[in-house]
Amino acid sequence: MLSSASLGGKEAGDARAIAARCQSLDALKAALEALEGISLKTTATNLVFADGNPEAPLMFIGEAPGREEDLRGLPFVGPSGQLLDRIIASIGRDRSSCYITNMIFWRPPGNREPTPQEMAACIPFVERHIALVRPEILVAVGNIAAKHLLGRSEGITRLRGKWGHYRRDGLDIPLIATFHPAGLLRNPLNKRYVWRDFLSIAEKLEALS
C-alpha cells in the first residue's frame, strides 16, 4: 500500500505535492528517502542526492547514477565523474565551487535508461531541487537532462553548446547542455566540443559576476 509520501500507480502530481512541501535541501533529501512505490529503490544500494556546494553559482545535472555512484551515494564519482572533475578544473573550479546532481536519484539496473514512469517520479524533485538551490547557471549533462530541462525533443548532438533557459517556478536561469563524460570516454573526439562548451560557461559566469 502506498503511503502519503509515495508514488506508484498515481499521477506524478503526488510527487509534485510532496516535493513542493520541502522547504530545504535536507527536507528534500528526507522526502526522497521516505518515498515509497519506487521500484528503483528496491534494486539500488543508496539514494544519490547531490555533491558540492549548494551556494555555488553553477549547478550540473546529469542523467542517473552508475555503479560507483550507487555504492558511494554520491553523483559522478566513477570514471566519468573523474573526467568531469578534470573538465570542471579546466575553468578553474572544483566541487567546492559548483553543485552536482542527477535527473534520477537511484541507479537503474544495469545502467539502463530510466523509464517514463521513473522520470515522472523524479522530475518534481529535480525541479524543486533547482528551485531551492537557485543557481545562476544550469548545465545539463547528457541527453536525458538536456531534453527534459530544455523541454526539447532533439538529441544532445543538436542541443549542446547553445544557451537556452530553464523556466519553472518563477525562475529564469541560463542553461547550456553538453555531452555526458561517459560518452566522452567512448568517443574522445567529442572532448573538443565540451571544451568549447566550458569556455562558454566560464564566459557566462564572468559576465554574471
Delimit the domains of the chain by residue range: 13-208
The overall longest dimension of the chain from CA atoms, in Å, is 51
CA distances for 186 relative to 21, 80, 154, angstroms: 41, 10, 21
Give exposure, 4-22, as e/b (b: 16+ Cβ within 10 Å). Answer: ebbbeeeebebbbebbeeb
Query: What's at 175, amino acid-wise?
Result: L
| Class of residue 155 by CB neighbours under 10 A (exposed 0-12, middle 13-18, buried 19+) | exposed
pLDDT at 146: 97
Q: Is the pLDDT of residue 2 over 50?
A: no
pLDDT-above-70 percentage for the chain: 94
Q: Which tens digits make up the pLDDT trace of 57-97?
A: 999 999 999 999 999 999 999 999 999 999 999 999 999 99
Superfamily of domain 13-208 in CATH is Uracil-DNA glycosylase-like domain (3.40.470.10)
Q: Which tens digits make up the pLDDT trace of 150-183?
A: 999 999 999 999 999 999 989 999 999 999 999 9
pLDDT at 27: 98
What sign does the CA torsion over 156, 48, 66, 95 have? Answer: positive
pLDDT at 9: 46
- For the chain, the average pLDDT equals 92
Q: Give the pLDDT band (50/70/90) at residue 1.
A: very low
Q: Is the pLDDT of residue 138 over 80?
A: yes
For range 182-186, the mean pLDDT? 95
pLDDT at 14: 85
For range 116-132, the mean pLDDT? 95
Place of cell 521513473: 118
Query: What's at 157, amino acid-wise?
Result: T
Q: Give the pLDDT band (50/70/90) at residue 36.
A: confident
Question: Which residue pairs, CB below 8 angstroms and at least 24 apart, start in 198-202?
Answer: 198/87, 198/88, 198/90, 198/91, 199/91, 200/161, 200/163, 200/176, 201/58, 201/91, 201/137, 201/139, 201/176, 202/91, 202/92
pLDDT at 12: 58
Place of cell 528517502: 33
Q: Is the pLDDT of residue 13 over 70?
A: no
Residue 154, CA atoms < 13 Å, CB-side half-sphere: 8
Q: Is the pLDDT of residue 45 over 70?
A: yes
Q: Is the pLDDT of residue 3 over 50?
A: no
- Whole-model pTM: value is 0.93
